[in-house]
Amino acid sequence: MAAEQLSVTFSALADPTRRAILARLKEGEASVTQLAERFPMTVQAVSKHLGVLERAGLVERSRIAQLRPARLRATHLQEAAEWLGSYAFWDASLDTLEQKLAERPSDA
Amino acid sequence: MLARVFDASRDRLWKEWTEPDRFADWFGGDEAEIPASTVALDVRVGGMWRATMFAGPERREIRWTGKYLEVAEPKLLALTFSDDGAPDELVIVVLVDIGEGHTEMLLRQRGAMSGPEYDRAARGMSSFLDRMAKHIADD
């Protein structure tokens, strides 16, 4: 996975409205109009945020249906979650290592 | 846990930890001086290390000693730290090759200190790593 994509993903996530849009899309697809009803902003503003999410590959929009509903694309979000999870992994691994070091008979 | 990405290979960062001249330069950061002649690093499991630091404008002398508990070049180093008889602190350093010549250094310290003391220690260590990064960039 390219580090570049992670930067794009986290940059897209660095906005409360965009995170709220993603949270809404977790429940199912929605059109720009439907999203705009839910947020205290114009359709244009929502559309702009959606554009950022789409370019980041976190959201895709139907090319067929007339309302072009947006839906979540999980791949890059999954990668970002894995990246964050790697720190938990290291923490747990270091716990295990520490325990082994403590159990090792001292040669001093 | 501290995590820092360096524009350097694991081998290069390993040397920062294990070669006396390099270690003397960054350990203690900009606020402390460690004469290279006081540094001895016996980097093997069970080996001891020591360094004498002159900290701050008043040049307070701190004698660091410790022991290497785990040595896996160039990936992992576990060592204890103690200054002038204080209880041992355990520091684990992990070097992860993240590609394109970059290395992520993960660093965790555990021991007998309090939460606020660890926050302070982490800030201190972070400034040491700033100096290490600068030193690498200047090379």
Nearest Cα of chain A lies from the Cα of B56 at a distance, in angstroms, of 32
What are the φ and ψ backbone dihedral angles of A85, each rounded to 5 degrees?
A: -65, -25
Amino acid B61 reads E
pLDDT value of residue A100: 87
CA A94 – CA A84 distance, rounded (Å): 16
pLDDT tens, residue by residue, B48-98: 999 999 999 999 999 999 999 999 999 999 999 998 778 889 999 999 998
pLDDT value of residue B87: 86
Q: Does A63 touch chain B (CB under 8 A)?
A: no
The fold for domain A3-103 equals Arc Repressor Mutant, subunit A (1.10.10)
Judge whether B83 and B62 are in contact, CB under 8 Å. Answer: yes
Instruction: Over range B94-119, report the average pLDDT.
Output: 91
CA B132 – CA A86 distance, rounded (Å): 24
The tally of CA atoms less than 13 A away on the side-chain side of residue A94 is 24
Q: Tell me the C-alpha to C-alpha distance, in Å, between residue B40 and each of A19, B3, B23, B67, B139.
A: 52, 26, 10, 11, 23
> Which DSSP category does B97 fall into?
E
Write out chain B residues lying below 8 Å of A104, CB-based: 69
Residue A2's pLDDT band (cuts 50, 70, 90):
low
Structure ipTM over 0.85, yes or no = no
Judge whether B18 and B41 are in contact, CB under 8 Å. Answer: yes
- CB-nearest partner of A98 from B67, B100, B110: B110
Judge whether A91 and A18 are in contact, CB under 8 Å. Answer: no
CA B127 to chain CA centroid, Å, is 11
Dihedral over Cα of B98, B101, B102, B106: its sign: positive
Does A108 have pLDDT greater than 60? no
Please count the other Cβ atoms lying within 10 Å of the Cβ belonging to residue B106.
20
Q: How many contacts, defined by CB atoms under 8 Å, are there between A and B? A: 30
Write out chain A residues lying below 8 Å of B106, CB-based: 90, 94
Residue A83's pLDDT band (cuts 50, 70, 90):
confident
With 0-12 / 13-18 / 19 or more C-beta atoms within 10 angstroms meaning exposed / middle / buried, residue A39 is middle
- For the B2-138 domain, the top CATH level (class) is alpha beta
CA B129 – CA B124 distance, rounded (Å): 9
pLDDT tens, residue by residue, B26-47: 999 998 999 999 999 999 999 9
Q: Tell me the C-alpha to C-alpha distance, in Å, between residue A3 and each of A9, A60, A75.
A: 10, 21, 14
Yes or no, beta carbons of B92 and A94 under 8 Å apart = yes
Provide the residue ranges of all domains of chain A, joining segments of one domain with +.
3-103
Contacts of A44 (CB under 8 A, 6+ apart): none
Provide the residue ranges of all domains of chain B, joining segments of one domain with +.
2-138
